[in-house]
Amino acid sequence: METPGEEGRGATLGLSSLLPSLLLLHWQKKSKVETAAIETELLRDYRFGQQQLIEIWGHACAIAITKAFPLTSLAKKQPTVLVVCGPDQNGSIGLVCARHLRIFEYEPTIYYPKRTPNTIHQDFTVQCEKMDIPFLSYLPTEVQLINDAYNLVIDAILGPETDHTDVKEPYAGILVTLKQVKIPIASVDMPSGWDVDQVTSDGINPDVLISLTAPKKCATSFSGKHFLAGRFLPYDIQKKYDLNLPEYPGTDCLIEL
């Protein structure tokens, strides 16, 4: 399998690169309000726990990384991965993803600049620490250091719950740095810096997108490798929100769109 990389960025769109967007027209894409409503219903009515949902999503993200970037395809001798985590739920999903990648024999390093006092987030942090996953104290602003040290970056910074119009430090600076990296980027749920409800390419321009539950509206303009993780959703929720999700192959927890 060919690893997504820098060569495909900015290339003239052919039919093959348009297919993901054309296929997404068939599946219902969710707005920020709808995404929040689905999660609230899962937590309140279906009695899912927040920690349970984050674990499901983080595990699926790690599986997606193994499919998009198999160990045998990595350019560097060491299977290094940089996981950049934000302060909210997307950041916790990144922590879980890093833990599972460590189990899958990758070598993740986490940059988590603002640790939240939330108990669930603290639990995931401790789990990573107990597995000897290193945490960076700062993100190098010299982009070449990142390119040389890691095979790819996982963007778990800003999710649908974030106000993209008011991105504060240190995250604004992190986005500036990550826009310049040459190694592949995989974004969790949506590319950081994008408006969840708009077709836009502002913010990070990833090679891989891992949508959670259902693709977001902004995913219409994404033409890279796109995975969906949402097989756990109860049928009644799928029907209520007209998700029209694709059929997952076999027993897989995610599907490439």
Q: For the segment 43-91, what is each residue's pLDDT rounded down to a tens digit?
A: 999 999 999 999 999 999 999 999 999 999 999 999 999 999 999 999 9
* pLDDT value for 13: 38
pLDDT band at 164 (very low <50, low <70, confident <90, very high): confident
Per DSSP, which regions of the chain are E strands?
Answer: 80-85, 107-111, 135-136, 152-156, 185-188, 208-212, 225-229, 255-256
Mean pLDDT of the chain: 87
The token duo for 31 is: 């707005």
Q: Is the pTM of the predicted complex or chain greater than 0.85?
A: yes
Helix (H) or strand (E) holding 120: helix 119-130
Helix pair 119-130, 89-103: axis angle to 10 deg: 20
Instruction: Report the C-alpha gap between 186 and 28 in whole angstroms.
Output: 22
Query: Are 127 and 102 in contact, with CB atoms under 8 Å apart?
Result: no
> Could you tell me the fold of the domain covering 15-245+252-256?
Rossmann fold (3.40.50)
> Does residue 17 register a pLDDT over 80?
no
Instruction: Out of 18-32, 51-65, 198-212, pick the least confident.
Output: 18-32
* pLDDT value for 16: 40
> Does residue 112 register a pLDDT over 50?
yes
Instruction: Report the C-alpha gap between 154 and 146 in whole angstroms.
Output: 12
The full DSSP string for 12-67 is: PP-HHHHHHHHHHTTSPPB-HHHHHHHHHHHHHTS---HHHHHHHHHHHHHHHHHH
Q: Where are the domains of the chain?
A: 15-245+252-256
* pLDDT value for 97: 99
Instruction: Report the C-alpha gap between 224 and 143 in whole angstroms.
Output: 22
* pLDDT value for 35: 83
Which of 15-29, 132-146, 201-215, 228-242 is most confident?
132-146
* pLDDT value for 30: 59
Query: Are 53 and 39 in contact, with CB atoms under 8 Å apart?
Result: yes
Helix pair 89-103, 50-68: axis angle to 10 deg: 50
* pLDDT value for 67: 98
> Does residue 220 register a pLDDT over 90?
no
Q: In 171-204, which positions are buried (b, 16+ CB within 10 angstroms) versus exposed (e)?
A: beebbebbeebebbbbbbbbbbbbbbbeebeebb
Instruction: Out of 8-22, 65-79, 88-102, 216-230, pick the least confident.
Output: 8-22
